[in-house]
Amino acid sequence: MEKGVKKAKEKGITINFGSEFEFYLFKQDENGNNTFVPLDQGGYMDIAPLDKGENIRREICLTLSEMGIDPEVSHHEMGPGQNEIDFRYSQALQAADNAATFKWVVEALANMQGLVADFSPKPIEDAPGNGMHINMSVQSHEELLMPFMAGILHHIEEMTLFLNPSKDSYKRMGKDKAPSFISWSYQNRNQLIRIPATHSSNRMELRSPDCSCNIYLAYALLIYAGLEGIEKNMIPDPCTDVVSVDTKRLPQSLKEAKLIASNASWLKEILGNDIVDIYVG
């Protein structure tokens, strides 16, 4: 990842990341094991008393702030006992380090409250899965978001294995606003990439990754793919709010994602054969 950051810097480009983490809070049994019984039955943006995770989210955010890591916002998500905490934009390596620390803090504080923090992609079969939406900003002397995004869209099939590396990752796709097609749009949260209207000149949100990924590898691949888009002046397909029969799909299973990655020379050039072989094997 550091090589990718350096390469971008040499071109006068700064790429910052700010990720959004979703996780469930489940009750523990008397032995500290996960019961998969949600802490509450709240829904999207509910508040107390339906939202019983408010106090622990506040404790998480205060603890992180004391550690020099500043969350931007937190709220109850769609699923019962599901929560989300989002982070401000920061440079790539710092953002990745903060993400690793964040998950450890959440799991430790949840355990102290007799709870299990579950970041897995699909902990409850008939409830929304956990995503890790990755927000990116591209800072330069000129507008480069579109070619940067085009590079990511061009390589997204190949890198999906590294953004969604578990079998359960693919149970989440195509449900509850988790994307399954390679498409982008302004504001539409059902598409793979969303460009927020308030920051349309240099910001984008990638909605397919989940928390089971190695965030260092994920950020590295996104940087390299975006830079290739800039170098080759790629142009993305037109934005869409409704996918058609011609719209390409993301890999629909771990097996398919591994097959695509195994044939991707681009991945091996960036990560090396050993890392790709570990994921494909």
pLDDT tens-digit readout, 131-158: 999 999 999 878 899 999 999 999 999 9
Q: Is the pLDDT of residue 118 over 90?
A: yes
Residue 199 predicted with pLDDT over 60: no
Fold type of domain 16-118: Creatine Kinase; Chain A, domain 2 (3.30.590)
- Write down the pTM of the prediction: 0.95
Whole-angstrom distance, CA of residue 114 vs CA of residue 129: 22
Cis peptide bond N-terminal to 165, omega within 30: no
pLDDT at 245 over 60: yes
Placement of tokens 């430790």 in the chain: 108
Q: Could you tell me the pLDDT band of residue 244, with boundaries at 50, 70 and 90? A: confident
Assign domain 2-14+141-280 to its CATH superfamily: Glutamine synthetase/guanido kinase, catalytic domain (3.30.590.10)
* 182 Cβ neighbours under 8 A, 6+ residues apart: 153, 156, 157, 192, 247, 248, 249, 250
DSSP reduced 3-state for 133: strand
Domain map (residue ranges) of the chain = 2-14+141-280, 16-118
Longest dimension (CA), the chain: 58
The predicted model gives 192-201 an average pLDDT of 77
Q: Is 117 exposed, middle or buried (0-12, 13-18, 19+ CB in 10 A)?
A: buried
Q: What mean pLDDT do residues 216-231 have? A: 97
42-63 pLDDT, tens per residue? 999 999 999 999 999 999 999 9
Q: What percentage of residues in the chain have a pLDDT greater than 90? A: 85
Give residue 3's pLDDT: 87
- Per-residue pLDDT, 20: 96
Tell me if 2-14+141-280 shares its fold with 16-118: yes
Cα–Cα dist 46/224, whole Å: 39
Looking at every residue in the chain, the average pLDDT score rounds to 94
